[in-house]
Amino acid sequence: MNPVASLSPEPKMSAIRCHHLIKRYGETQVVHAFDLDVADNEFVVFLGPSGCGKSTILRMLAGLEDISGGDLHIGGQRVNDLPPQERGIAMVFQNYALYPHMTVRDNIAFGLKRLKVPKAEIDSRIKEVSDTLGLERYLQRKPTELSGGQQQRVAIARAMIKTPKVFLFDEPLSNLDAKLRNHMRIEIAKLHQTLKTTTVYVTHDQHEAMTLADRIVLLRDGRIEQVGTPQEIFERPRSAFVAGFIGTPPMNLMEMAVHGLDGGQCELRGGGGSVRVDARRFALEGRARVTLGVRPAHLHLDTTRANGEGFAGEVQLIEYLGNEVLVSVGQGGEEIAVLLPSAAGPRLGEPLRFVADAQQVHLFDVATGASLLRPDAVLH
């Protein structure tokens, strides 16, 4: 059952194994039995809205927060009660957390000095990391004399130089402007390709998560909502929450009534429209209502009006995105977002008819939000 059980029983040197990790502050429990195995060399991203516990879990991995319950193994060793420096980790903080009273060189060397590394080796390793990150020119400067991107590079250099078993990143790019963020994201991805160090990366930005991660751990209220590759999470969201959280523009979610049809088909009606789905793909037995999820890109203009299936409404709002336009179409008091090619040239107030790509729709339980997709259902 448990997908992690299939991994090698002996974790490799830098694998992380979290078993039922719990975090309590007094009476309040903020992390509930967190289970996760991170394989050697893997890049795992913790993604979720603020307050979902992603940073808390990262800080528990780092040894900056006490672990209230469960077991944490890094590189095969139980590290619950070890201080940060004995866990073989290095961390990059959101606001860089450089030592403001030291030069860049001293910032990078500070950890190695503690380890009593010989000076000649410190020098050669500083040269190596500063070459990699383009910091040679700034070694004698103080952190306040650097730009945000340079400071973040120093923070990464400070983490890299210790050649840790595990890199921990706590929202490292959220203090940078959009352009620099893109640039640094690519640098981090390249760095991981080169170093292959096991990495846990916390972010609330789904774009960062999708582009960087081998696997995404999507968290909500201190619980794992879904673990999977970016593609799995995007294509087979396990709940309405995941479906709504992942993907821009966000997925349309609306409640529909279920009507059985012949030939293994079901028709879902609601929100001023209808869509026909293959009843063999979804566990619809005994359900009168479901939540329909359909991404704006999976709605298409319909000119044929073949069998009365589809949605109709008037254009309420047009957002120009370049190649595409995002159109809000009002129908039956609800609005549904549709992504159309710019060439379609929709106008405000224009009536539109469109159909959902039946292979691309998602159905969720109205109450729990759990996906109704059958586990064996094949995606188109």
Partner 1 sequence: MKKLAIGTLLARLALIAAGLSALVPVLWTFLNSFKNRVDIVSAVPKFFFTPTLDNYLYVLNREAVAAGLVNSIVVAGAAVIIGAVLGLPAAYALARYPLRWGNDIQFFVLSMRFLPPVAVAIPLMVIWLQLELYDSRTALIATYTLLTLSTVIWLAIPAFKAVPKEVEEAGRVDGYGPYAIFFRIALPIAARSLVGAIAFGFVLVWNEFLIALMLTTSEAKTLPIVASELSQLGRDVPWGILNASVILLSLPPLLMVGVLSGFLNAAFKRKREAE
The residues binding partner 1 (CB under 8 A) are 62-64, 83-85, 89-91, 93-95, 97-101, 110-111, 114-115, 142, 144-145, 158, 162
Nearer to partner 1, 106 or 278 (CB): 106
Nearer to partner 1, 142 or 353 (CB): 142
Q: Quick check: 63 and 79 in contact, CB under 8 A? A: yes
Least separation in angstroms between residue 111's CB and partner 1 is 4
Nearer to partner 1, 93 or 354 (CB): 93
Nearer to partner 1, 143 or 230 (CB): 143
Rounded to whole angstroms, the Cα distance separating 123 from 101 reads: 20
CA nearest 301: which of 335, 264, 343, 272? Answer: 343
Q: Quick check: 319 and 346 in contact, CB under 8 A? A: no
- CA dist 319 to 249, 289, 299, 345, Å? 11, 31, 16, 12
Least separation in angstroms between residue 91's CB and partner 1 is 5
Q: What is the DSSP letter of 378?
A: P
Least separation in angstroms between residue 181's CB and partner 1 is 19
Q: Which residue has the tokens 């979804």?
A: 282
Nearer to partner 1, 62 or 294 (CB): 62
Q: Per DSSP, what are the bridge partners of residue 199?
A: 43, 167
Q: Quick check: 312 and 293 in contact, CB under 8 A? A: no
Q: Quick check: 60 and 67 in contact, CB under 8 A? A: yes
Q: Which residue has the tokens 């469109």?
A: 354
Nearer to partner 1, 107 or 252 (CB): 107
Least separation in angstroms between residue 30's CB and partner 1 is 17
Lookup: tokens for 340: 């159309």
Least separation in angstroms between residue 58's CB and partner 1 is 12
Least separation in angstroms between residue 110's CB and partner 1 is 5
